[in-house]
Amino acid sequence: MIVVTGAAGFIASCLVTRLNAANFNDIVVVDNFAVERKLANLKGKHLREYVDRNEFFDWLDQHHEEVEFIFHLGARTDTTEQDKAVFDLLNLDYSKKMWQACCQYQLPLVYASSAATYGSGTLGYSDDDALLPLLRPLNPYGDSKNDFDNWAVQQPEKPFFWAGLKFFNVYGPNEYHKGRMASVIFHAFEQIRQTGSMTLFRSHNPDYADGEQQRDFVYVKDLVEVCFFLMNNRQHSGIYNLGTGEARTFLDLTLNTFKALGRTADIRFRDTPEDIRDTYQYFTQADMSKLRSIGYTLPFTKLEDGIDDYVRNYLVPGQYL
């Protein structure tokens, strides 16, 4: 039995599909299932049981002997939310309780961290534990993820295997419900389809031209392959970056979205909204050497190929993974 939290969300629902593809069908999905717009992400999947996130720890007390692995991917991920109490409850405190349960019942754990922990990137993007206490995220979401990473590595008692994954800019199927927090590729697809053009944020940093802001965009299919690898190779606990190791510009992203749609490019710019302007990341690029050092050898999908697959096979027909 495998437990997946945040299971109706974007990344976790894609992981469930990957597990089903490998004939893991005894899956317990945990989430707030009252959010109806997310439920389509789980339609047609092979599942054992739905458990509300508020009832999960009581459920685990009763069923822990049947559980083989826990993927804790559930979190509040809104980078514009400023209420620290929300993140303390859903990200920090819930994750601590998950960690302690995995210690108590000796269950292996993979959990979602975030590249938001790196803040402005002034210290680089190394996943070396020594940097963790020095990182200064730019918003309460990043703080909550960094706070848990720091707490986890300091614990005298740990699950016999655990891994925290610092997701960079993830894109791909099953993010239809995410609204403003969906990937730029999703927003580009919607804008191009509706207006024939795409509007990007103007640069407010003299070191970057408009559209030349760079991020490490990672395809969700690659991300879940790493999760699958860690489930099957429970030897090297720690915190790992999960990007591609190659930063690409928003112009690259947008031009390839136009290309996948067979449209002529029409790119415009507007000021970055004031509520995120001061905390905007102009460059992210994962140092992937740590994950590679433990034996992960699969290649990461090139941005051009990932966008083409996502747009043609999922967004255009409105399909789920």
SS (H, E, C) 29-47: EEECCCCHHHHHHHCCCCC
- Residue 244 annotated as binding? no
Largest pairwise CA distance in the chain: 58
- Residue 84 annotated as binding? no
Q: Residue 193 corresponds to which amino acid?
A: R
Please name which of 304, 3, 21, 22 lies closest in space to residue 171, comparing C-alpha atoms.
304
Q: Taking CA 98 as the corner, what is the angle to CA 23 and CA 85, rounded to the nearest 5 degrees?
A: 125
- Residue 170 annotated as binding? yes
- Residue 268 annotated as binding? no
- Residue 201 annotated as binding? yes
Q: Which residues pair with 77 in a beta bridge?
A: none
Contacts of 102 (CB under 8 A, 6+ apart): 70, 108, 109, 159, 162
- Residue 77 annotated as binding? yes
- Residue 27 annotated as binding? no
- Residue 248 annotated as binding? no
Tokens of 140: 């309460």
* Catalytically active residues, by annotation: 141, 178
Q: Are strands 238-242 and 2-5 parallel, antiparallel or unpaired?
A: unpaired
- Residue 192 annotated as binding? no
| Binding-site residue positions for substrate | 169, 180, 187, 201-204, 215, 280
Q: Which residues are annotated as a binding site?
A: 10-11, 31-32, 38, 53, 73-77, 145, 169-170, 178, 180, 187, 201-204, 215, 280
